[in-house]
Structure 1
Amino acid sequence: MTTTSLAEALGLALLARGWRVTAAESCTGGGIASAITDIPGSSAWFDMAFVTYSNAAKQQLVGVPAAVLVQHGAVSEVVARQMAEGALTAAGADLAVAVSGIAGPSGGSADKPVGMVCFAWATSTGTDAETRHFSGDRASVRLQTVQYALAGLLARCAPYQDEHLA
């Protein structure tokens, strides 16, 4: 699916649930929020998102504790979970996604190579996190991250929609 078709499907699923979505973004720099707000009528399911590119922003905007950042590093599932949960609370949303990764072309290491992105999706009933490794240049890694984040949001909405449309 394209970014636009993912965002459109997400909007329909959120409307069916009566949910609002938010995002806490690091390596995508607002790309997820941009994809969502590219869809006409998105104000029905989207109020705000957080671009938390720096560690200070992660702390100030979505409440990631400094100790967690020091212990695990910004690119970690632990931090992504904290970002998603903090964004969910700060936005008063029903569903949140968080991404933190290394888009490149520099900044990677043996443990955390370029293309490594940590994701988390949070609702009031829990948080899921996972790490993916994407290939390509900076723009490609960021695009793949946005699309994967949207697909993950959609997967967490769509089961409800499918049940009630059957």
Structure 2
Amino acid sequence: MDYLLPPELVDKAREIIEANRAAGRTIALAESCTGGLVSAALTEIAGSSDVFLAGYVTYSNEAKMSALHVNEDVVGTFGAVSVATAWAMARGALTTSGADVAVAITGIAGPGGGSASKPVGTVVFARAEREEDPDKVVADSRLFDAAGGRAAIRLQAALCALELLEP
């Protein structure tokens, strides 16, 4: 079967859809640097709509604040690429979508935009679950190799985000 996206991404998306279907869980995403890549991978899978409820592409800070209700003070204090912002994005996606679990991705895919403290390839992930304590932060920051360029960083980030959706 032909897919628009890389096979490893589609294969992982299929695993995630099947595992969440078996667990009776619904999922949502809040994406920034991946620009909807994770959502696209999930929707490559026929029947994904019974598991995947919503994907929010909030590339700008304004979109993060308006669509996902990320507080302006969070973005202003910690920056768009931070655990605090990723966590707020995940909580916002969870609340807005009504899903059981939501994952957020925010980062610097390059080639520009990096700094000494947040170089190109820095990506932050967060997961929020409906049944968990809302103050419990499940987040991770990764530094992906920028040698493969923007596309490689985005693919690596998408694969990591999918792993966070495992039940």
One-letter identity of the residue aligned with 1:82: A
CA distance in structure 2 between the partners assigned to 1:14 and 1:152 by the alignment: 12
The TM-score with structure 1 as length reference comes to 0.91
Counterpart check, 1:153 vs 2:165: yes
Match of 2:56 in 1: 50
Shift of 1:2: 1.5
Q: Which moved more, 1:11-20 or 1:49-58?
A: 11-20
Match of 2:90 in 1: 84
Could you report, residue by residue, the CA deviation over 1:90-112 in whole angstroms, capped at 9, with x for unpaired residues?
00000111000000000000011
8 A contact 1:80–1:119 mirrored in 2: yes
Match of 1:98 in 2: 104
Match of 2:154 in 1: 142
Q: Which runs of 4+ in 1 moved over 3 A?
A: none
Shift of 1:153: 1.1
Match of 1:163 in 2: none
1:8-157 aligned at under 5 Å gives the runs: 8-124=14-130, 125=132, 126-135=136-145, 136-154=148-166, 157=167
> Which secondary structure state, in structure 2, belongs to the residue aligned with residue 9 of structure 1?
helix
> Which secondary structure state, in structure 1, belongs to the residue aligned with residue 29 of structure 2?
strand
Shift of 1:118: 0.4
> Which secondary structure state, in structure 1, belongs to the residue aligned with residue 16 of structure 2?
helix
One-letter identity of the residue aligned with 2:138: D
8 A contact 1:85–1:127 mirrored in 2: no
Task: Figure out how many residues of one structure are paired with residues of the other and give that number.
Answer: 155
CA distance in structure 2 between the partners assigned to 1:95 and 1:151 by the alignment: 13
Could you report, residue by residue, the CA deviation over 1:37-87 in whole angstroms, capped at 9, with x for unpaired residues?
011110110121100000000000111000110000000011000000110
CA distance in structure 1 between the partners assigned to 2:108 and 2:48 by the alignment: 28
Query: Where does the alignment leave 5 or more consecutive residues of structure 1 unmatched?
Result: 158-166
> Which secondary structure state, in structure 1, belongs to the residue aligned with residue 138 of structure 2?
strand
One-letter identity of the residue aligned with 2:140: E
